[in-house]
Amino acid sequence: MSDCASCACGGKIPPVEICLSYLAEENVPNNVIDHCMAVEHLALKIAMRITQDQEILDLISRGALLHDIGRSKSHDINHAVFGAELLRKRGLDERIALIVERHICAGIDAREAEENGLPVRDYIPQTLPEKIVAHADNLTTEKDRAPARWKLADVMARERGKGYDESALKIEKLHAELSELAGIDLDDIK
């Protein structure tokens, strides 16, 4: 396993190639890597309507690429915590670890974390990169093992169908917030 502190990124924001190598080193399944790349693509489309700050765009890109690295250990909700731990051990920028840790739905609070067996704290996206990656992930799913784009109504129906009404409301609120910042309903971004 390579250590980010001694790699080309020097413990900062790693290049795309390093992120992809981390996914491979952790044995993340190819379909999950494809999903991560699709989330990155959508996240950057959203982000570029909001900011041109290259550091923020780089954080969003790398956070999106690495958001599911924890799926090498689990496909349960705890994959976000596992993923953040993996990135911290590699010495990555803490902002990327937080993007990974807080990408589940539109965030879960300490009560929900406890109910799901996670370390008890809030996992609610706080920063613009955290919010964009979390929501791009909400809107990107797998269909026939290939990434596919969902509309907000589909995501909300999926969440409500599982009995996650609170999650659906958080996702709707995040969608509205990011749509306002982007100046376009995110469902209309091509």
The pLDDT confidence band at residue 11, using thresholds 50, 70 and 90, is low
Instruction: Give the predicted TM-score (pTM) of the model.
Output: 0.92
**Separation of alpha carbons 141 and 35, rounded Å:** 7
State both tokens at 86.
């993996």
Domain count, the chain: 1
What pLDDT is attached to residue 174?
97
DSSP state for residue 164 in the 8-state scheme: -
Q: Which domain holds residue 89?
A: 4-188
Instruction: Read off the pLDDT of residues 71-125 as tens digits, 9 standing for 90 and up.
Output: 999 999 999 999 999 999 999 999 999 999 999 989 999 999 999 999 999 999 9
**Separation of alpha carbons 113 and 115, rounded Å:** 5
Residue 1 above 50 pLDDT?
Answer: no
What pLDDT is attached to residue 144?
55
135 touches 177 (CB < 8 A): no
State both tokens at 23.
């996914």
From residue 73, give the alpha-carbon distance in Å to each of 27, 70, 119.
9, 6, 16
Query: What share of the chain in percent tops pLDDT 70?
Result: 92
Instruction: Read off the pLDDT of residues 117-172 as tens digits, 9 standing for 90 and up.
Output: 999 999 999 999 999 999 999 999 876 566 678 999 999 999 999 999 999 999 99
∠ CA 148-150-154, rounded to 5° = 140
- CATH number at 147 reads 1.10.3210
Query: What share of the chain in percent tops pLDDT 90?
Result: 86
The pLDDT confidence band at residue 3, using thresholds 50, 70 and 90, is very low
What is the CA 75 to chain-centroid distance, rounded? 14
Mean pLDDT of the chain, nearest integer: 91
69 touches 85 (CB < 8 A): no
129 touches 56 (CB < 8 A): yes
Instruction: Read off the pLDDT of residues 37-70 as tens digits, 9 standing for 90 and up.
Output: 999 999 999 999 999 999 999 999 999 999 999 9
